[in-house]
Structures are given as C-alpha cells and as structure tokens.
Structure 1
C-alpha cells in the first residue's frame, strides 16, 4: 500500500514539474531575436561628368497593345465610379486624380471646371457627398481598328446630406466617350443622362 501511495505522489510531482516547465517555456522564456544581416554598402565608381558627352536617348513611345472591348468597358466603369463620387470636403480629388485617364481637351475642361466651381462655391460646413457604383456597362460604339469608343455606364448612386441617415439612392446613366490619343485610350467626354 505504501509503495502505491509513493508511486502516485511521485507521478503527481513529476507531472507538476513538467507543467511548470511548459508554462515557463511558453510564457516566460525569452524569445531570441532574429539576427539582422547587414549587407555591406557598395559605392559605385562614377565617371566624372563632362559637358557635351551626354547622348540623347530616344523618347519611349507608349506600347500600343491591342485593347479589347472588355478592357475599355472596365476603364469606363472604373472612371465613372471615381468621377461620379464627390464630397464637398474632398477638394475635387475625384476629378484631379483622373487626369491621367483624360484626353488633353478633357484635362483642360476639368482644370477650368474645378477652378470655376471653387471660385463660386461658398464655405459650407454641412456635409454633402455622392457615391457612385457602376452596375452595367453597355457598348454603344467600338471598333478594334478605330480610334473612338462610346459606352453607357448604368450606375447606382447615393446622395448624402448632413447626417448619415439622410441618404437618397437613385439610378443614373452616364455616356462615356473614349478616344485614342498618342496610342493610348483616354476618356474624352462624360455626359450624365437625366
């Protein structure tokens, strides 16, 4: 009987030692930091600059890859989502950020529009915003060999005034006209259809 009791006590003590060791290694043991290997900096030897020794590199032309109708549909849909989403607290970034996707005439229009609208607009602390989501993009005109394309983007828009509970949802279509400018497709005009 004594030997069974002694064996049980030894098993319990052994289990407690293992439990304490596990707790130590899991929670209290210091974690070694991974070594950061620093690469030696190399300094490139440069030849001294001599005026007139510069050779002119030919300007890179944009790659003229075949753009499919679906590619242009995605461009038109994405453009309208950004273009049609506005907040009176955003400073017209919805238009300015899209300039790289606009043809030169539309860039000029966009800059003039932003300047004129900022000059006319009064300071208004009441929030006004409108968000736009492209739902369907329909092709009106597209030719693989042509330089013009036209799409109708059907959108779902939400207009918010003041507090968040004052939201009005509505559907609106936008006609998006694209042109090929210097080998790249650019948005040339957008017309919101009432």
Structure 2
C-alpha cells in the first residue's frame, strides 16, 4: 500500500515538473540559446575613431611679368627701355626682334668714307634675299661714283629705344621703329660737328623660319 502511494506521488511530481518545464519553454519566452549565450564571453567593444581630414586648398600662382631693361644711352638723357611680358605673349620672339633691330640700325647707320661700305656689306648675313640684292646694287652704284676719302667724314649711330609697330608670326612679317641719336664727325673721329635724333623703321620677313631684315628706311630728321 505504501509503495503504491509513493509511486503515485512520484508520478504526480514528475507530471508537475514536466508541466512546469513545458510552461517555461512555450509560455514564458524562455530560450535555450539565450541561456547558453549568457555563459559565452562577450566580444570587446570596438570604438570607431574618426580622423578628421583637413581641407586641401590649392594655391594657384599668377604668372609673373618678366621685365627686361637696357642701360640708358650715355649723354642722351633718355630713360631705360622697359619691355613687359604679358601672359601668352611670344616674349622671346619679340625680344629677339627688338635686339636685332637695335643692333642692325646701329651698324647700318654708322658709316665713314674710308670704310668701303662695310656698314652694308657686313650686314648681309642678317638680310633677306631681296635686301641682299638691294645691297649689292647700292654698293656697286656708289663705288662707281668714286668717293673722295682724302678728308675723313663719318657718322656714328646709337639706338635709344625700340618699339614693335607690327608683328604677324603667321605671315612672317614684322616692323620695328628704332629711335636713334647720330653724331657726325669731320677731319677726325673725335671732331664731332653735330648730333641729331633720327628714327629708322626696320622691316623683317621670315626666310626658312628665321627673321631677316627686308628693308631699313630712315625717317626725316
């Protein structure tokens, strides 16, 4: 009798225990995986570090102007020549023309009756073919006239300023105005009889890609 009672009690307790487990699992929201997760080691928290990026500022420098000066001519009181390059200008080409025009005008305009027209013939290397033909004709004509060189006469020319009047690199034509001061001397080179200002226009043309003097025209004194 006692054994039956004990058996019944055990069965009832088993039924109650099983019922409690079923209730917890299905009605109380119990999760076996959540239960196990409590025993797992939680991963260390990761802190995101934001590194600020400085704004990049691009500095654009403006193109500088190139200024070239020449020394002032002695005893003329003229100011120095200033050539300014603007962005996009063909600076090297313009400067070469100005220098060539100044040099040519000084040598072309410096003459003596004892130099046998070297002021013309020595410059043929800088002349176009058309001006070379003119130079040959001019020198031959003057030599035929006969020159009295028993009494010295000479004139020295100095370029003061140069100015580009026209420049067309596409057609290969250019003109430069050169202002000069000229000094005449008689009997001897040191005996300067007079000084005067005179302009000359040097016209250029391109031959085989190089600038050549095509004509040189003295203006009124």
TM bin, normalised by shorter chain, reads: 0.5 to 0.7
Matched, 1:120 2:145: yes
- Residues 113 and 148 of structure 2 are in contact (CA less than 8 Å); yes or no, is this contact kept in structure 1? no
Match of 1:188 in 2: 214
Aligned match for 1:109, one of 112, 125, 134 = 134
- Report Cα offsets for 1:151-176 as digits up to 9, x if no partner: 11000100111143342100000011
In structure 2, which of residues 180, 205, 210 is the aligned counterpart of residue 179 of structure 1? 205
- Using CA pairs under 8 Å that are at least 6 residues apart, name the structure with larger relative contact order, 1 or 2: 1
| Alignment match of 1:153 (pick from 171, 178, 185) | 178
- For residues 144 and 103 of structure 1, the distance between their equivalents in structure 2, rounded to whole angstroms, comes to 16
Distance 2:103 2:157 in 1: 10
For structure 1, the 5+ residue unaligned runs are 1-65
Deviates more, 1:163-172 or 1:77-86: 163-172
Count residues in correspondence. Answer: 129
CA contact (8 A) 1:142 1:150 kept: yes
How far does the alpha carbon of each residue in 1:62-115 deviate from its partner, in whole angstroms, 9 at most, with x for none? xxxx95111101001100000000011111111111001000010010011011
Aligned 8 A contact 1:106 1:188 in 2 = yes
Deviations 1:20-71 (A, max 9, x none): xxxxxxxxxxxxxxxxxxxxxxxxxxxxxxxxxxxxxxxxxxxxxx951111
Q: Which residue of 2 aligns with 1:15?
A: none
TM (norm. structure 2) is 0.56
Point out the structure with max Rg over C-alpha: 2
